[in-house]
Amino acid sequence: MKMKIVILIAFVSLCRVSLAEDDKKDEKKVWFGPKYGLDVVSSTADIESLTDQLKTNYQVGFFMQLGKKIYFQPEIYYSSYTTNPLTNSKINYLKAPMMLGLKVIDLGLISLHLNGGPSYIKQLDSTNKGVINWEVGAGVNLLGFITTDLRYTIQKGSTTGMQIEQLISNGGMLNLTVGLRL
C-alpha cells in the first residue's frame, strides 16, 4: 500500500512539473473530447479469434489532455468484452487510465507522442475490487483535432488458463483508441 502511495505522489509531481513547463507558452494547453476504442487479448495469434474480438470488444469514453509538449491525460471508459461469441456472454468494465505523455515529433498537421501510466479497471456488477495495471504506448495526432493511441497493458504475474477475466485484470491487452480533440 505504501508503495502505491509513493508511486501516485511521484506521478502527480511529474504531472505538475509538466504543466508548469507548458505554462511558458501562449498556445492551447487543454484538450478534451470523446474517445472510442477496441481491445484485443494479445496472447492469441488465431486470426478468427482476433476477428471475433475486434467485432465484439469495445470501449467508449472521454479524455482530457492538460499540457502541450509534456502532458497529463486522464481518461474514463465503459468497456465491454465478449467472453463467449457463441452465447454472446459479456463482461463490462469501468476503465480509468491516467497517462503521462511526451510529444516527440510535431510537424503541425501531424504529431507523434509516447505515453504511459497507471490504469484502474473495475468489473461492473461485481463485488471484486478494482485493479491497477500499467499501460504504455504511442499515438498520432492528425490535423490538430483527431487523436489516436495504441497501448499495451503490461501483464502482471502469470495468467493460469485463458479466461478473459484473468487476462483483463492481469494485463496482456492491446488497445487502439481514436478520439476528437475539442
Residue 44, sorted as left (phi over 0), alpha (psi -120 to 50) or beta, turns out to be beta
37 near 77, Cβ under 8 Å?
yes
**Distance from first CA to last CA of the chain, Å, rounded?**
37
- Using one digit for the tens of pLDDT, what is the confidence trace for 31-77? 999 999 988 775 555 666 667 667 778 999 999 999 989 999 999 99
Number of domains in the chain: 1
- Using one digit for the tens of pLDDT, what is the confidence trace for 73-100? 999 999 998 777 677 788 899 999 999 9
pTM for the complete prediction?
0.77
Cell numbers at 121, concatenated: 479497471
Write the DSSP assignment of 77-142 as a string of letters.
EEEEEEEETTTTEEEEEEEEEEEEEEEEEE-SSEEEEEEEEEEEEEETT--SPPEEEEEEEEEEEE
Containing 166, the helix (H) or strand (E) segment is helix 164-170
Report helix, strand or coil for 27. Answer: coil
Output the pLDDT for position 1. Answer: 56
Between residues 15 and 124, the one the model is more confident about: 124
- Using one digit for the tens of pLDDT, what is the confidence trace for 104-134? 999 989 999 999 999 999 999 888 888 898 9
Q: What is the spatial distance between Cα 168 and Cα 82, in angstroms, rounded to a whole number?
A: 12
Here the CATH number for the domain that contains residue 125 is 2.40.160.20
The domain in which residue 77 lies consists of 2-180
